[in-house]
Structure 1
């Protein structure tokens, strides 16, 4: 069952299933490399602060609100 990226614990690697948001945010995330099927490793997470993930050879910082729209499995 898919879960939001902001619910994944540090050190876990998951694969993007879909992005559930408006088309503008979806396009922005896809331009950053968040494409369905892509593996993502959670490097840093906390309940109130930003999430840091490793994706496609780099690291990206996402706010909790944005990470909530990225569904992973």
Structure 2
């Protein structure tokens, strides 16, 4: 089932399916390595706050609004 990255629990590995939102945000996320088909791991998540993910050999911190635009599949 596809769901927003912001709903994924810490320690889970998921695969990016799509990037929603405005074209500028989509391009920005793709430039950061968030490309459909790419696996990532949720390293840290807070109830309301930034999310830290491991992707392409690095770690990235995302705000909750950006994480909502990244659609993933477990």
The normalised TM-score by structure 2 is 0.97
Unmatched 5+ residue regions in structure 1?
none
CA distance in 2, matches of 1:27, 1:38: 15
What is the alpha-carbon root mean square deviation over aligned residues?
Answer: 0.4
Question: Are 2:55 and 1:55 aligned?
Answer: yes
* 1:25 paired residue number: 25
CA distance in 2, matches of 1:61, 1:3: 19
User: Which aligned segments of 4 or more residues in structure 1 are displaced greater than 6 angstroms?
Assistant: none
CA distance in 2, matches of 1:16, 1:63: 17
The alignment of Structure 1 onto Structure 2 pairs a total of residues equal to 73
